[in-house]
């Protein structure tokens, strides 16, 4: 993602929307319009939409991964977030007990070379004697990411590393936020000899109740010194068993994304190169990953969600991975072309990690992580809109040449626009980002109408309505984006792929609005634009049919028509989508010509996304205030009259008769 910019016209557009809505209510209704939609469904004029047309873009922003999609419950599990100099800040860890009973600090005695910091806990009290520990003992606790969601009868895997100068009796508990109620606990005991060296302990905890605001606590009533490091709590029940939070990953799967672009834009680059995403430091055993400060968005990540996990997620979703690589630039620095060679080699090594055989240098690391078969990495995006920077084009050519020499089938994506691409500056695709107001986004339904039809195609990897009428995700923003996507469908001969941004926001750390999916420790909901994407999840690989709208004095409609085949029962549908971006209802006559089969008398449906007001949003209290509603159609035919509500997105899925020659 790039830095958000205010749109000067967004305030005006919001005022127009509010005025229009007030006027509509005061009059009872806004005068309707009549129009005609003509669709040419003949096979000879049809065109296939690219198989990977619609996908998703993940950026580590808003705690989307750390404290979100990645199901790890412990924040700052390795005590590295405070930096390498000790003693350091251990936030969000806190101490149980006072200075007369316990002293907690960090030192550089960790077992892990790349994670030198460990926690030192000196317990001054005991179970007897002159300094008796308080009831329940003393120690430390971790609240996770704004509370840990612990569910009744669910099992959690706990792992931690311990070293001690004395015998150990340490109780590990999942407890309420005040520590008074325990949902599950386990006591680790051992002799001085047993823990004289760093020892990894693993066990399961099964919760006896629900608590969405829990904490992990480690307590003891035995005096002595204990060192702790790499403390993890992971639910066993994750998406496909691969560590992804189940509800959030399922919401992604329901979109049927055809590609996953990762790990982000600014996140991949960093404000400074020392904080850029380095793929090789995010693979291998989780305890050995150093983590890094996400300076683009202002928080620490342990990198549990690393390069391997992104590739795994893409595979689990049935999506192609699209890897955004650091091109030697950050927001404030740039590596010159004369010294870029080591960074180029690093990216080629990363492709080997993803695609190399299990005997190769980096492929063997992947295999050791449990995935001997190569991942299907076919797309690499060079940078994040840095074409304007001094060394980008020279550096890009170095990356392009090296990648193509080793992996000629990989599609290389440029951050420069189409006009800069030539035989001397080649690219397979070029990246486009669109952030603008809702009114301008709607107008961009024709953005690619006049684009030259030859040469590399575009990937619109980031688009979003921003500004005042976007709110935290409004209906009108979703409708504007829907119209934009309709335009991309119509221009899919020059546009290969598209994805919105950002994807996730933890409601406790909103760095950007709007976002498609909102969550906290235990809840989640889709914003209107998330539900809008469901109208396009059958478009990838479908057949596009020419269509045109005829309506007088009302330029607020956008429409497209496709035929697609259901993967469930192999039925074929003609899907007609119409966006009404205006405040008037429309009576629309639809005429379909050229079909080589009939439309069945039953089995068709109408789906509508709308609400009582254009600025309506969803929330935890009303998660589906703006959500699609489907109903069966009783007038499905090649000629039919339909009604479109003001501020609405409507799709008509017309079930076609079976035919050996049906388009799909």
pLDDT at 660 over 90: no
Q: What value does the mean pLDDT take over residues 180-200?
A: 97
Q: pLDDT at position 1, please?
A: 67
The per-residue pLDDT for 32 is 78
Taking the C-alpha atoms of residue 314 and residue 320, their distance in angstroms, rounded to an integer, is 6
Exposure of 268 in the CB half-sphere (CA atoms within 13 A): 27
Q: Report whether pLDDT(466) > 50.
A: yes
Q: What rounded mean pLDDT belongs to the chain?
A: 94
Q: Does domain 22-48+541-655 have CATH number 3.40.50.1950?
A: no
Q: Which of 418, 389, 396, 420 is nearest to 347 (CA)?
A: 396
Is the pLDDT score of 532 beyond 90? yes
Cα separation, 7 vs 437, in Å, equals: 6
pLDDT in tens, 285-307: 999 999 999 999 999 999 999 99
**What is the distance between the alpha carbons of residues 464 and 437, in angstroms, rounded to a whole number?**
8
CB 487 within 8 A of CB 458: no
pLDDT at 9: 43
| Domain spans, the chain | 22-48+541-655, 57-70+238-416, 94-235
CATH architecture of 94-235: Sandwich (2.60)
Secondary-structure class of domain 57-70+238-416 per CATH:
alpha beta
Tens-place pLDDT, residues 396-418: 999 999 999 999 999 999 999 99
Query: In the chain, pLDDT over 90 holds for what percent of residues?
Result: 93
Hey, what are 610's tokens?
């709308």
pLDDT 10s digits, 643-655? 999 999 999 999 9
Alpha-carbon gap, residue 161 to 163, rounded angstroms: 7
**Extended beta strands in 510-658, E state:** 517-519, 524-526, 543-545, 547-551, 557-565, 572-580, 586-593, 605-609, 629-632, 639-644, 648-655
């Amino acid at each position: 993602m790039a830095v958000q910019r205010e749109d000067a016209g967004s305030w005006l557009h919001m005022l127009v929307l509010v005025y229009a809505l007030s006027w509509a209510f005061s009059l009872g209704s806004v005068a309707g319009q009549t129009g005609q939609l003509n669709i040419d469904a003949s096979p000879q004029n049809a065109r296939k939409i690219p198989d990977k047309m619609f996908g998703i873009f993940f950026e580590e922003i808003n705690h989307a991964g750390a404290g979100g999609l990645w199901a790890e419950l412990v924040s700052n599990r390795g005590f590295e977030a405070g930096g390498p100099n000790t003693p350091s800040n251990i936030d969000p860890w806190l101490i149980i007990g006072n200075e007369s009973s316990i002293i907690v600090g960090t030192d550089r005695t960790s077992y892990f070379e790349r994670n030198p910091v460990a926690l030192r806990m000196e317990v001054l009290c005991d179970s007897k004697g002159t300094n008796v520990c308080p009831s329940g003992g003393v120690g430390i606790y971790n609240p996770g990411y704004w509370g840990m969601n612990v569910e009744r009868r669910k099992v959690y895997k706990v792992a931690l590393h311990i070293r001690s100068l004395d015998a150990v009796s340490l109780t590990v508990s999942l407890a309420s936020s005040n520590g008074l109620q325990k949902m599950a606990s386990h006591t680790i005991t051992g002799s001085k000899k047993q823990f004289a060296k760093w020892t990894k302990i693993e066990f399961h905890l099964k919760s006896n109740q629900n608590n969405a605001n829990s904490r992990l606590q480690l307590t003891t009533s035995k005096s002595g010194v204990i060192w702790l490091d790499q403390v993890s709590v992971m639910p066993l029940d994750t998406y496909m068993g691969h560590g992804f939070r189940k509800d959030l990953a399922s919401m992604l799967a329901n979109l049927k994304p055809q590609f996953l672009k990762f790990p982000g834009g600014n996140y991949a680059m960093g404000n400074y190169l020392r904080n850029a995403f380095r793929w090789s430091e995010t693979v291998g055993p989780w305890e050995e990953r150093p983590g890094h400060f996400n300076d683009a968005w202002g928080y620490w990540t342990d990198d549990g969600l690393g390069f391997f996990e992104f590739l795994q997620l893409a595979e689990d979703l049935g999506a192609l991975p699209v890897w955004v690589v650091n091109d030697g630039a950050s927001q404030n620095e740039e590596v010159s072309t004369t010294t870029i060679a080591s960074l180029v080699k690093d990216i080629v090594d990363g492709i080997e990690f993803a695609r190399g055989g299990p005997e190769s240098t980096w492929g063997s690391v992947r295999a050791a992580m449990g995935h001997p078969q190569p991942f299907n990495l076919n797309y690499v995006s060079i940078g994040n809109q840095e074409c304007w920077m001094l060394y980008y084009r020279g550096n890009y050519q170095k990356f392009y040449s090296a990648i193509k020499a080793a992996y000629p089938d990989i599609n290389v994506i440029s951050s420069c626009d189409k006009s800069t691409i030539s035989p001397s500056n080649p690219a397979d695709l070029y990246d486009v980002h669109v952030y603008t107001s809702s009114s301008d986004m709607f107008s961009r339904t024709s953005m690619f109408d006049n684009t030259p039809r030859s040469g590399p195609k575009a990937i619109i990897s980031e688009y979003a309505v921003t500004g005042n009428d976007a709110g935290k995700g409004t209906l009108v923003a979703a409708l504007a984006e829907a119209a934009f996507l309709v335009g991309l469908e119509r221009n899919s001969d020059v546009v290969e792929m598209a994805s919105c941004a950002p994807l996730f926001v933890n409601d406790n750390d909103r760095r950007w609005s709007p976002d498609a999916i909102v969550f906290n420790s235990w809840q989640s909901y889709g914003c209107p634009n998330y539900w809008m994407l469901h109208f396009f999840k059958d478009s990838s690989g479908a057949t596009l049919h020419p269509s045109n709208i005829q309506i007088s004095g009302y330029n607020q409609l956008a429409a497209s028509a496709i035929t697609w085949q259901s993967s469930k029962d192999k039925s074929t549908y003609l899907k007609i989508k119409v966006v009404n971006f205006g405040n008037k209802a429309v009576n629309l006559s639809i005429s379909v010509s050229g079909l080589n089969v009939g439309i069945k008398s039953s089995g068709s449906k109408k789906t509508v996304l709308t609400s009582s007001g254009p600025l309506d949003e969803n929330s935890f209290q009303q998660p589906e205030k703006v959500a699609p509603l489907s109903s069966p159609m009783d007038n499905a035919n090649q000629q039919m009259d339909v009604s479109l509500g003001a501020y609405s997105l409507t799709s008509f899925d017309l079930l076609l008769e079976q035919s050996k020659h049906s388009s799909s």
